[in-house]
Structure 1
Amino acid sequence: MTHPITARQLFQTAYESRYTWDENFPGYSADVQLVQGDEVYTGKIRINRDLSVEVTGVADEQVEEGIYTQLRDIVTHRKCTNFEQSHGEHEFSLGQEDPNGAIEILVKGDSMGSNYKVRGNEISQVSRVMGRMAFIIDTHASLDTGSGYIATRYDATFRNSKTNQVTSVLKFEDTYEKIGDYYVMTKQIVQEYKDGTRTTTEFSYSNIKLLEPAAVS
């Protein structure tokens, strides 16, 4: 007799199917170029073995901060985190199945008010409410690395949680390449729709080099 799969099992499988960097990840350095309209900025970036982020040589402090934030997001998604550590305290229950075959996973006990949708072995939607801000991230395409999936095309819709009014929509398109044993982002195009205008920002990473492992004395 087969037991029906539980919401926790469904979510845990999808969570553990994400592509993450392993404990041997050495970090990497790269040149960065950011293009927004007519403006072009360049600099250097470094993601260290401990997953700390450095951005240097960018002429505009605000742009440098934007690149830093984007790299911190990359690290958050590539960091290998134990399921029990992240979600051990949470209660999961099954919600509705949508027309695309994604199953809603409802969560109790999460401080960020998170709910999810899982399609196959992938998390296809993340929904969170944080104070006055609510957002939903929908994944439309992903890369199968052979050792986990990476979302490559996804939208984030931000709303005022009190009025439900949409405040902005971000559309992302990410490109990854395998450098040595690790997949790293080489390009990200972000389109932001806000107050009736569209802004396109393009991040490009080149001259990517894995850092040398620390010598053991």
Structure 2
Amino acid sequence: MTQTLTAQDAFRAAYDNRYTWDKDFPGFTADVTFTHGEESHSGQVTIKPDMSFEVTGIEDEAAKKEIEGQLWEMTIHRVRRTFEESHGKNSFEFGEKDANGAQEIKVTGASMGNSYKIKNDTVTFVNRKIRNVIVNINTFETLDTDEGYLSLGYDSVYFDAETKEPQGGTTLFRDSFEKIDGYYVLTKREITSKENDEVVGEKVFTFSNIKF
């Protein structure tokens, strides 16, 4: 007898297929360089086993905050939480299926109104409301490791939650990873901001000399 896969089963499979750092993650230090236009700032970063982090060696507060923002993004996506911890208060139902085979998963419960698209146990699209804005994240390139997938290419667009009008154009992300001492670590992130298909800003974060 064939067992029918529920929307929760399908989404759980994609959730569990994300690459995360395990409980033995020891933390690491790295040199960091942040480039924005003609400006360049270099310093050091530390990510601790509990996922807290710090930036040192950079006096420019705006540049330091930019790097801290990327470390927050890095750690929030690598921390390992069970499906129940992240989505225990949500329920899921199937939506439409795209021509390319991506399946929409609609969320009800605590995160009512959010939705995802999944394909081959990978989350390819996120629609999430954050206070008064809606963010859409479209993933178009991934790296399949033996321990889960990592997003290499993705873009984000923000919308006003009330009017549904776009805010601030499109932001394109390109990530590079390297496996060091058993852990995949972000070594480069390129962020390109576009408005009406015209590039209006570029930021590059490079992490090197990574030591666990």
Q: TM-score, normalised by structure 1?
A: 0.93
Inter-partner Cα distance in structure 2 for 1:89 and 1:165 = 29
**Contact 1:112/1:128, CA 8 A, preserved across alignment:** no
Question: Which residue does 1:150 correspond to in 2?
Answer: 150
- In the TM superposition, residue 191 of structure 1 has moved relative to its aligned partner by 0.6
Give unmatched runs, 5+ long, in structure 1.
Answer: 211-217
- In the TM superposition, residue 47 of structure 1 has moved relative to its aligned partner by 0.4
Inter-partner Cα distance in structure 1 for 2:144 and 2:68 = 26
Is the aligned partner of 1:56 residue 2:70?
Answer: no
4+ residue segments displaced more than 4 Å: 194-197
- In the TM superposition, residue 201 of structure 1 has moved relative to its aligned partner by 0.2
Question: Which residue does 1:214 correspond to in 2?
Answer: none
Identity %: 39
Question: Which residue does 2:136 correspond to in 1?
Answer: 136
SS at match of 1:140: strand
- In the TM superposition, residue 112 of structure 1 has moved relative to its aligned partner by 7.0
Query: What amino acid is the match of 2:184?
Result: Y
Is the aligned partner of 1:123 residue 2:91?
Answer: no
Is the aligned partner of 1:105 residue 2:115?
Answer: no
Q: TM-score, normalised by structure 2?
A: 0.95
Question: Could you list the per-position Cα deviations for residues 94-113 of structure 1 after superposition, in whole angstroms to 9, with x for gaps in the alignment?
Answer: 00001221100001013474
Question: Which residue does 1:67 correspond to in 2?
Answer: 67
Inter-partner Cα distance in structure 2 for 1:110 and 1:15 = 17
- In the TM superposition, residue 197 of structure 1 has moved relative to its aligned partner by 5.3
SS at match of 2:72: helix
**Contact 1:113/1:130, CA 8 A, preserved across alignment:** no
Question: Could you list the per-position Cα deviations for residues 63-118 of structure 1 after superposition, in whole angstroms to 9, with x for gaps in the alignment?
Answer: 10111011111101111001011112211000000122110000101347421110
Question: Which residue does 2:173 correspond to in 1?
Answer: 172
Aligned residues: CA RMSD: 1.3
Question: Which residue does 2:78 correspond to in 1?
Answer: 78
**Contact 1:112/1:130, CA 8 A, preserved across alignment:** no
Give unmatched runs, 5+ long, in structure 2.
Answer: none
In structure 2, the CA distance between the partners of 1:29 and 1:112, relative to structure 1 (3 Å rule), is: farther
- In the TM superposition, residue 194 of structure 1 has moved relative to its aligned partner by 4.5
Query: Is the deviation greater in 102-111 or in 41-50?
Result: 102-111
Query: Is the deviation greater in 95-104 or in 196-205?
Result: 196-205
Inter-partner Cα distance in structure 2 for 1:189 and 1:82 = 30
How many positions carry a matched residue from both structures?
A: 210
Is the aligned partner of 1:208 residue 2:210?
Answer: yes
Query: What amino acid is the match of 2:147?
Result: S
